C-alpha cells in the first residue's frame, strides 16, 4: 500500500492545475493570460463565499 507524502499530493495538485489551464488554452485556441486566469479565480471564490452566506 502506497502512502502519499505531502510532496506527492502537492505535485499532483499542481499537475492537475496546469493540465486544466493547458486544456482551456487548447480548447479556446488562445494564449495564456495570467490576469484573466486570476480574475476567474477571484470570481469563483466570491461566488462560493456569497453562496455560503
Q: DSSP alpha helices (H): ranges in 4-33?
A: 6-28
| Cα distances (Å, whole numbers) of residue 22 to 12, 34, 45, 50 | 15, 12, 21, 29
User: What is the full per-residue pLDDT of the chain (53 aa) written as tens digits?
Assistant: 577 899 999 999 999 999 998 998 999 999 989 898 899 889 999 998 888 76
- What pLDDT does 31 receive? 92
Question: Measured over all CA atoms, what is the biggest interatomic distance in the chain, rounded to whole angstroms?
Answer: 42
Q: Would you say the pTM of this structure is higher than 0.95?
A: no
Amino acid at each position: 500500500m502506497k502512502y502519499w507524502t505531502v510532496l506527492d499530493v502537492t505535485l499532483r495538485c499542481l499537475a492537475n492545475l496546469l493540465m486544466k489551464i493547458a486544456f482551456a488554452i487548447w480548447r479556446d485556441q488562445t494564449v495564456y493570460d495570467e490576469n484573466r486566469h486570476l480574475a476567474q479565480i477571484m470570481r469563483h471564490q466570491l461566488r462560493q463565499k456569497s453562496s455560503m452566506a
